[in-house]
Amino acid sequence: MKKIKKALISVYHKEGLKEILRKLESSEVELYSTGGTWRYLFNMGIEAKKVEDITGYPSILGGRVKTLHPKVFGGILARLDQPEDIDQLTEYDIPPFDLVIVDLYPFEDTVANTKDESEIIEKIDIGGISLIRAAAKNFNEVMVVSSQEYYKDFLTIIETNDCHTSLDQRKEYALKAFKTSSHYDSAIFQYFCRGNELEALSISEIEARPLRYGENPHQSAIFYGSLEDMIVKLSGKDLSYNNILDIDAAIRLIADFDETTVAILKHNNACGIASRPILLEAWQLALAGDPVSAFGGIIISNAAIDYQTAQEIDKLFYEVLVAPDFSYEAFELLKKKPGRIILKLKSTHFPEKTLRSALSGYLYQDTDRKVESVEDMNVVSDYSPTETELQDLVFANKVVKHTKSNAMVIVKDKVLVASGLGETSRVDAFKQALEKARGFQKDVKGAVLASDAFFPFSDNVEIANNAGIKVVVQPGGSKRDQDSIDFCNQHGMALCFTGIRHFKH
């Protein structure tokens, strides 16, 4: 255990610091500080020496240079078990520090709240980050508190041990310090790297949450990031790896719908989805899409869950229910089954880029934010869809965008009739959808068909025609597009091209 005798304190955020300062003062720790922090101590009536009293230099260049001096860093980096270091401390009258408390300029908050580059640049901390790295490097001698986040835990340490720290504690806080500095540098790099992603990939998430298990029970898993930015758990067990993937897919899907919509997903794909002005009707129609697959699925709504709808949802076994809100009565009913996870949806805003591991590296791409509207339905056949059919085409195209390729989606009256997905052949995907529709005794006549990619041959429109589906949307772009157009013209079918492919792998 090492007694804290001298401490250097230079922080941006003062909240939570007062109790630490009082404890250090009562333990007769000699305090050194800079600018605003020194004034904070002075106003508290706590005696502290100014850093410039050590260095002989005032804060210069508008505060850009305060602590960058050998007398400061010598006192942090000195190895007290090395006679040569002790001699140099004595020769140059350098005080050896046992504690460094730093809280950096809020660079990320500044980037989030202003586009003023000069203001952003001034929030790049130079001295503070250097103090953190120096103190962390010399953890054998120095305790470093690198963020306001650690004030409370550090206070517990010095209160419990009367201002002594152990080597294990100093090493643990060195790890926290390098986490702080790494994340800070990553944020700065990302700011400068915008629009120049080929330079390098740097991602840092400082929150880590262990999950129940990974994709399978024998795999461990961790979620990095803040789940609370998008969802809040109101009730239920902890989330698993698969839960999070399904929730991600569900939110991405529902974000594309403005009307009151309910979707049910299994393994990242919608097995039921419907839009209706009344939430209960949307739920009933979504469930009817595939009541077998819905068992143990993920349910998401873009409207608050009322009691009447909750009563019906409660009859089904499901893993997760996500909605922007719940009536009091609805939540009281739903939470009675603690094994089911109830989540409040806070945001549907996803990052502009998506990242996944592949081979020995990572794939990084623009997020697919394209959502086709009626205006994007470019009619290429002699026959045009009706207004109702156009609305169904838009609905179907949204669903197929979020369905695993190869994907074919059949929709009628803004309800998913059936989908075929994950097939190596687009024809097989379509046949899968038709077979599922037949299995649930659904009439596909009058429905519309959406495909995530173009038709290389006319076989899909031929199958559609034979099934009674007369309206089709696909991206187009095949060398043999005309074959499909000709068939549609000959058989009174409407065909639309969007020009946008929506592969999902």
CA distances (Å), 255 to each of 23, 229, 285, 346, in order? 50, 15, 19, 12
Contact 268, 319 (CB under 8 A): no
Asked whether 464 and 437 are in contact (CB, 8 A), the reply is: no
Output the six-digit token pair for 499.
């020009």
Strands (E), 380-467: 408-412, 415-420, 448-451
* In contact, 436 and 420? CB cutoff 8 Å: yes
Catalytic residue selected from 5, 137, 179, 233: 137
d(CA 263, CA 88): 70
> Would you say 313 and 283 are in contact if contact means Cβ atoms under 8 Å apart?
yes
Residue 406 near residue 453, CB atoms below 8 Å? yes
| Dihedral over Cα of 330, 335, 341, 347: its sign | positive
Separation of alpha carbons 354 and 300, rounded Å: 22
Quick one: CA dihedral 463, 465, 471, 474, positive or negative? positive
Rg (CA), the chain: 31
**Dihedral sign, CA of 123, 124, 127, 128?**
positive
For residues 268 and 298, give the distance between their C-alpha atoms in angstroms, rounded to a whole number: 9
Per residue, what are the HEC states of 181-233? HHHHHHHHHHHHHCCCCCCCCCCCCCCEEECCCCCCCCCCCEEECCHHHCEEE
- Encoded amino acid at 221, one letter: A
Residue 176 annotated as catalytic: no
Question: By CB neighbour count within 10 A (0-12 exposed, 13-18 middle, 19+ buried), where does 451 fall?
Answer: buried
Q: Which residues contact 91 (CB under 8 A, 6 or more apart)?
A: none
Q: Which residue of the set 267, 335, 344, 370 is catalytic? A: 267
Task: State the greatest distance between any 2 C-alpha atoms of the chain, in Å, as a whole number.
Answer: 98
Is 179 one of the annotated active-site residues of the chain?
no
| Phi-psi group of 153: left, alpha or beta (phi > 0 → left; psi -120 to 50 → alpha; rest → beta) | alpha
Could you give the residue numbers annotated as active site?
Answer: 137, 267
